[in-house]
Amino acid sequence: AVQFTGALNDNVFKNALVMLIAFAATKAGGGAETLLNLCAALFILPFFLFSATAGQIAEKFDKARLIQVIKAAEIVVMVLVPIGFWLESIGFLIFVLFLMGAQSAFFGPVKYSLLPQILKEEELIGGNGLVELGTFLAILIGTIAGGVIATLGGHETLISMAVVALAVIGFAFSLAMPASPATVPDLRIDWNILRTTFRGMEMASE
């Protein structure tokens, strides 16, 4: 449920924003390609920058508590969405999209490393299957819902309400997660994100 609501939130906002940019560009006579490419790049960039560091953090702290902190951060990020609409700033909303990507980048390693701690060995395949099912179902629903909401009257209010509500629901679900003690509590985290990223790329290529 935590994974589903998070992925749904990402895709509702991302696809609604893409549709709004496309609509605005059509009215202005074109020129949306650069902004749309920027949206895609800024949403993916945090996964490249932060995933290695996020993996270290996931090993050092209780994963359930860490997920709760990450989901609380999602609420803060989503509250910025109505502010962006109020400011009528596409640039600010694209920045919020980057923050959403960053939040998802920190959530990713935790969710996958959590499963072996809370599931029996024979349950892992089913557990991974449920997580993946929730992810792709959320992508499908979020892609459709984001596009539909963007075409409705009062879409700024609807989008704002949807993303904040989904963030709050996801956080509420995270509070019910079982504790999962840190696997490497003495780990020294390397906060140099570029060094950890390139080190991880080198290890993956070996």
* Residue range 129-145, pLDDT digits in tens: 999 999 999 999 999 99
Q: Given a cut of 90, is residue 197 above it in pLDDT?
A: no
Spatial separation of the C-alpha atoms in residues 148 and 160, rounded to whole Å: 14
- Contact at 8 Å (CB) between 165 and 38? no
pTM as predicted? 0.87
Return the structure tokens found at 112. 């996958």
Answer yes or no: is pLDDT of 68 > 70.
yes
- Cα Rg of the chain (Å, integer): 18
pLDDT tens by residue, 27-45 = 655 567 777 888 888 888 9
The alpha carbon of 46 is separated from its chain's Cα centroid by a whole number of angstroms, namely: 10
pLDDT at 99: 94
pLDDT grade for 202, boundaries at 50, 70 and 90: low
- Residues 74-97 have a mean pLDDT of 91
**175 and 113 in contact (C-beta within 8 Å)?**
no
Q: Compute the distance between CA of residue 46 and CA of residue 44 in angstroms, rounded to an integer.
A: 6
Reading the block at residue 148, the tokens are 């539909």
Give the whole-angstrom CA distance, residue 173 versus residue 165: 12
Q: What is the pLDDT of residue 119?
A: 87
When pLDDT is cut at 50, 70 and 90, the band that residue 77 belongs to is very high
Once rounded to an integer, what is the mean pLDDT over residues 141-155? 88
pLDDT for the residue 18: 85
CB atoms within 10 A of CB 17: 25
Q: What is the pLDDT of residue 27?
A: 66
154: left (phi over 0), alpha (psi -120 to 50) or beta: left
